[in-house]
Chains A and B, each alone.
Chain A
Amino acid sequence: MSSRRIFARPARLGAITPYFWMLLFFLVPFGFVLKISLSQTAIAQPPYLPVFDLTQGAAAFKAALAALSLDNFRLLVSDNLYVFSYLRSLVVAVVATAILLVIGYPIAYGMARLPQRWQPIAMMLVIVPFWTSFLIRIYAWINILQHDGLLNQMLLSLHLVSVPVVWLSTDSAMYVGIVYSYLPFMILPLFATLAKMEPALEEAASDLGASPLKVFWLITFPLSLPGVAAGILLCFIPIVGEFVIPDLLAGSNSLMIGQTLWLEFFTNKDWPVASAAAIVLLVLLVVPLVLYDRLQRAQLEEAR
């Protein structure tokens, strides 16, 4: 009884802290962005109107509130530039995530089948690129992919091509960069799921007459689905908003939403439109996430 009371307060505090953190560093800034997205651009400091100022009295506050509008969101829907940016972001993220899954799954599977003592070393090898700055690694790719870069030199010396291939500023270069950068985020959750799977399950399937291929499709893969889902989420969401890799490696004729957003914010100084674009992006990502979460919960309930 008394011991429970001693523990109750710190435990409750511990439970509240993350929410407090979210409130302070996510919800409050989100409120700012939402407000700016409803404002109009202006040549002023800050570069939008209206500005809420409580010192001007209630009437001014009311007027400012009335000046908010959904114009920026209407612009996003009506202007093809934005619609295409969103579509391109989604397409790039879907394609890149699919490639990541196809490459990452066999690697994670192989790692999970290594003898116990080799597994930490394999893990290290996956994580080791993080020791170098992300930006430097992307610049390294520019070096490799450029006109007289390592890749073309190699292809020429092997007589696979007679003239250097244009790699840089293409979608291929962008996919190479994205897949390279996000591969650990795909491998690690898959590895975690596969490594903790009971080996006896695969043996039991094999014992009951399943060929190795059937064992994989009927037992291993279905049981690794939580890892697959985690890997997909960890890659898909940040890739949709990716800015640096397409900016450095892809061509400039079609932009991902991250690049469009950057242009609006820094080049056009149109904070309200940039904010609206950011909010739409968030909704596009959060809604499927929430639906997925609901679905999973429903399945769990059903299983009980």
Chain B
Amino acid sequence: MAEQLPKFDAAAEPVGPEPQLAAADIPLLRIERVVKKFGAFRAVDGVSLDIHAGEFFALLGPSGCGKTTLLRMLAGFESPDEGRILLNGKDIANVLPHERPVNMMFQNYALFPHLSVRDNIAFGLKRAGMARSEIDARVAEMVALVKLEGLEKRKPDNLSGGQKQRVALARSLARRPQMLLLDEPLAALDKKLRESTQFELMELQRRLGLTFVIVTHDQEEAMTVAGRIGVMDSGRLDQVASPRELYEAPHSRWIAEFVGDINLFDGEIEAREHHRLTIATRDAGTVVVAEPRQGISKTIVSVAIRPEKVKLSRLGPAPDATASQAINRLEGMITDVSYLGALTTYKVRLDSGATLRSSMANTAQIDIDAYNLSQRVVAWFTPDDCLVLEQ
């Protein structure tokens, strides 16, 4: 009954994160209109998604959005009520969890408390019927891979949080799964450790050339590690895009607000000419924005500007304001200054009463560019800095 595990070759050539398209262009994983209901509640509501071999994919969303349920369906712990999940082109609906070539790293690691680090890592290898000598070699390799040397005999209760996380990672990688599922793998670590581990995860994924699917509610984490991100909300997959695209061109107002900070002004399109839209907003007056490439069908829209694209200057003409290029200028008073080290964020109360947020990089050691509370400033941004989102 010995099941054939793929050879594990840590010294393999680095494989890029780019999707490697298989011969017939079949994605490693294809999710087709999958629905999962719990009673009347549709936890996953018609999700379709392709994930290619070698990808680092993140499912991002607030808690309760259905991302974990989707991941559990991939592992086989839940079965879809509708739709299909294809692995290498084959429907895996009837494949039990212990027979899937997929492994999962659990949120709280789920390490077996009665087994040593070594036996935890060897657990999956023993089930595959590997020879003892092979198991020993593979365990040693995994221990080295996640830098756990010397801790092989410890029980999980005697490990630190970071060490547990490494054991869980080694255990889930030991069988060399076609796809590794990670359920909030770093949520229990403190900020510093989380950041360094994010880079280690990326490094590992690239080196092993495996496909990683990570579930996280932390947008920074998703943007750091993943090549592509799928944003989920209320059981639906709202947008699948690269981190940059997600940030710079979110599909909806909801995503724009969920991913990073953003200023939003509701308004109505008054004119459109030369790929410029003139929008009359209630709180920010008339704003000129670039017309989105995919066009816009409605007239009631929101104008969105990321805080780092809002520049501040002291009263006076805005710099670089040439006649040919419209510059949006808003006047107001600084009501809040937060110094964050690399950045300083300002809140500006516009004369309309609305608040505009701006963040500026602290590039100089002395604060010549800093603004003070109650100071009057001009906030300005170009039409290309704005997004137009349908409401």
Indicate, yes or no, whether A interacts with B: yes
Interface residues of A (CB under 8 A from B): 198, 200-201, 203-212, 214-215, 218-219, 222-223, 303-304
Q: Which residues of B contact A205 (CB under 8 A)?
A: 112, 123
Instruction: Indicate whether B75 reaches chain A with its CB closer than 8 angstroms.
Output: yes
Asked if residues A198 and B110 are in contact (CB atoms below 8 Å), the reply is yes
Asked if residues A207 and B127 are in contact (CB atoms below 8 Å), the reply is no
Instruction: Indicate whether B234 reaches chain A with its CB closer than 8 angstroms.
Output: no
B140 to chain A, nearest CB (A): 18
B84 to chain A, nearest CB (A): 21
Asked if residues B127 and A208 are in contact (CB atoms below 8 Å), the reply is yes
A219 to B115, CA, bound (A): 9
Asked if residues A208 and B124 are in contact (CB atoms below 8 Å), the reply is yes
Instruction: Indicate whether B3 reaches chain A with its CB closer than 8 angstroms.
Output: yes
Asked if residues A200 and B97 are in contact (CB atoms below 8 Å), the reply is no
Instruction: Indicate whether B263 reaches chain A with its CB closer than 8 angstroms.
Output: no
A194 to chain B, nearest CB (A): 15
Known contacts A209-B3, A209-B128, A303-B157; 15 additional CB pairs below 8 A are A200-B106, A200-B110, A203-B106, A204-B104, A204-B106, A204-B171, A206-B97, A207-B75, A207-B97, A207-B98, A207-B104, A208-B103, A209-B98, A210-B98, A218-B123
* Closest chain A residue to B127, Cβ basis: A209
Asked if residues A223 and B114 are in contact (CB atoms below 8 Å), the reply is yes
Asked if residues A303 and B98 are in contact (CB atoms below 8 Å), the reply is no
A222 to B123, CA, bound (A): 15
Interface of A is mostly: helix
Number of interface residues of B (CB under 8 A): 30
Interface residues of B (CB under 8 A from A): 3, 75-77, 96-100, 102-104, 106-108, 110-114, 123-124, 127-128, 155, 157-158, 171-172, 175
Q: Which residues of B contact A203 (CB under 8 A)?
A: 75, 77, 97, 104, 106, 110
B302 to chain A, nearest CB (A): 41
Q: Which residues of A contact B111 (CB under 8 A)?
A: 204
Q: Which residues of A contact B104 (CB under 8 A)?
A: 203-204, 207
Asked if residues A210 and B127 are in contact (CB atoms below 8 Å), the reply is yes
Contact of B110 among A204, A211, A214, A303 (CB under 8 A): A204
* Closest chain B residue to A219, Cβ basis: B112
B56 to chain A, nearest CB (A): 20
Q: Which residues of B contact A218 (CB under 8 A)?
A: 123
A219 to B114, CA, bound (A): 8
A214 to B114, CA, bound (A): 15
B30 to chain A, nearest CB (A): 21
A235 to chain B, nearest CB (A): 24
Contact of A201 among B3, B110, B124, B175 (CB under 8 A): B110
Q: Which residues of B contact A211 (CB under 8 A)?
A: 98
A35 to chain B, nearest CB (A): 47
* Closest chain A residue to B183, Cβ basis: A200
The answer to whether residues A303 and B123 also contact, given A209-B128, A222-B114 and a CB cut-off of 8 A, is no
B214 to chain A, nearest CB (A): 16
Q: Which 5 A-B pairs have the closest CB atoms?
A: A208-B124, A209-B127, A200-B110, A204-B110, A206-B97
